[in-house]
Amino acid sequence: MTVVLVDAGGTNIGSVRYALQRLGVDAALTSDAAAIRAADKVILPGVGAAGPGMARLRELGLVELMRSLTQPVLGVCLGMQLLCAHSEEGDTECLGLIPATVCRFAERPGLRVPHMGWNGLTVQNAHPLLQDLSDGEQAYFVHSYAVPMNEWTLASANYGEPFSAVVARGNFHGMQFHPERSAAVGARLLKNFLAL
């Protein structure tokens, strides 16, 4: 099985790669269209802002390629947001693979933005990606923008209001949290993705 990490300039790429190595998978970091197209699984990691993330994909000529992929694809953190249609962050048009708008968390008393730290997951829809995940298990989040609940939400978390923690539409999947920093839960969900 070949797994590639799309080199879209995300700063968490090294830790995602290491998490995959712990599962016995050596994922190549690449921006080569042919390598991405040929891979069995594609992961789009990302940390940072939507505008620069999309600009990097455009600069590398990968936007249409990402939209055309038919194998399982996983977006992590910003990578999940880039799979959506639009982000309020910088008023950015994204890949449009999951028809949702990424919204900034509302400022609320006692809730800081960014949302940073461990938060419980709640399963909304059964899916092989969530195999053996129980409600309340914790994942590690760092983000100021989130995908509202929608029909493609597989699991949610709550930060002042519920938001999408895991999404899937067809072969495109996203995790808003960092599976590579979410201990056993993150490793299990990455393993589930590799098994899709």
Residue 139 contacts residue 161 (beta carbons within 8 Å): no
Digit-coded pLDDT (tens) for 15-66: 899 999 999 999 999 999 999 999 999 999 987 899 999 999 999 999 999 9
Total domains in the chain come to: 1
Digit-coded pLDDT (tens) for 114-160: 999 999 999 999 999 999 999 999 999 999 999 999 999 999 999 99
84, 115, 143, 180: which is the annotated catalytic residue?
180
77, 84, 89, 173: which is the annotated catalytic residue?
77
Specify the pTM. 0.97
Residue-range definition of the domain harbouring residue 125: 3-195
178 is catalytic: yes
Q: What is the CATH number of the domain that holds 8?
A: 3.40.50.880
Residue 149 contacts residue 125 (beta carbons within 8 Å): no
